[in-house]
Structure 1
Amino acid sequence: MSRYPISKQDRESLSSVSSDSGDVSNGHCCDIEEEGIVVIPEYNTPIIGYEVMEERARFTVFKIRVEHVETGRYWFVFRRYTDFARLSKKLKPRFPGLQLCLPPKRWFGNNFDPMFLEDRVLGLQAFVKNIMGHRDISKSPPVREFFCLDDPPEPLDTIEESRALCENLEEQVYRLNQQLRERDAEIEVLRSELDSLRLQHGVLVKALKLECSLASWANAQLSRDRPQLPSSHAFGLHALNLTLSSM
């Protein structure tokens, strides 16, 4: 992970990038300053830093500080280059007469070179300044969604805080999944024990039925040879076996 904040001097240079500045970082810009279209932005949206993420697939995240000019309330949004490109694609059919400034993709070379990324920040900042300075574009749903204008997140000061929040949520999900796996294992053990008890019950029932059958046969033989009532103990045991065998 590599983090690169933007210095104060760089921020001043970013703020001086105008919407009709021509080619920025090999991007294509055109003048959108039509009469009555350009307005004083309701929000300040400087790109104040970027970070190269390396945990999984390597990519760069740009940190944008969104501040409401009138109230001073601010928050941060984190966007990849593909997010900017997706926003530009959404805006084109809505405003077909305008071409917005967006630095192109780099097909060759190191996309994570600091100098290249600094140039890309300049190009992206020009793109942001163009859309936020346009009366209609700045109020369009794609732009409001991109900057979270209708549902601002809590102001997290650093990407580390955002990552910490994500890691905390991931940890909670992991613990819940772990507990679920443990519960599943316990249920499987209980099912196994229940199957074992059912098997034992079946064996005992068969044994009792066999004992009852043998006892009945023996009693019949004794009654034939020497007719008399069986003892109370034998009668009680036989009755108990019959009861158990019927369960």
Structure 2
Amino acid sequence: MPKTKQTRGRVKQRRPEADRPEAETAERDHSPQSSISSVDVIPETQQDPLESQRQPSSEDEATRQQKKRVRVSKKEIPEYCWKEEVELRLAELVKEKPQLYDKKQKEWLNVAAKNSRWDRVGEQLEPPATGPQCKKHYENMRTRVGKLMKKGKKSGAGQPQRSARDDQIMETCSFLTQHIVQGETVPSEQFAVPESAAVKISDDDDDEVRSTGSQSQASTTTGKGKGKGKPSRPPTTETATTTADTGVTQSDLSDAVKQVRIPMSTCRLYSSLIHCS
């Protein structure tokens, strides 16, 4: 019991010591200069982590927006008065920059670099034009050159003659002929009957006619027997059918054979009479 009383007394004595502020901290609180210096002297490394995370995210969004390709339709591009002199100057400037028309160049896929080159080309014209205007007119001339090259390959007297405008475009953009590749045109298949098939069909018809003739001969030979008095067999429905080519029935052929037999019998009678005499 007395031990517990002592411990309680000790705890009571320690509590006020812990609650008391230290001498140094008390002096800092009372002095105004110390508070100002504590605010001013803040190292840069102790900034908020949220602010440090927000800054790179905003920079990434800006770079992403720059990387996005802004495609402008040709209808939205304002018109430009392309005179003959300006058109020749445009062709000369484009010819000096093969990155704009030669696909083998390393910077062909660099869209940003190509757009900047088009802007420079437009600045050198009089009156100056924008990069999209120069690119639009160049693409129109390029497609026209490709069509004229395709027409030149076709042979035939019915091809129309080229106009003066076409000749002018071919002269100004003659350097593009080496860089325009066209695929070979394949003629459409003609589904006509070949001659070999026609010959085979005629041969088959001849074989059918020959088979009908052989059947008629076989029917006539079956009518002949060893006995003279045996009548010939009547023609069946199959043999009586007419063929599409001859139009003669088997019954008509058998009648003709009977008519041929009568004069043979008379010849035999005449020969017997001659021997008797």
TM-score w.r.t. length of structure 2 = 0.27
* Higher share in helix: 2
Larger radius of gyration: 2
* Higher share in strand: 1
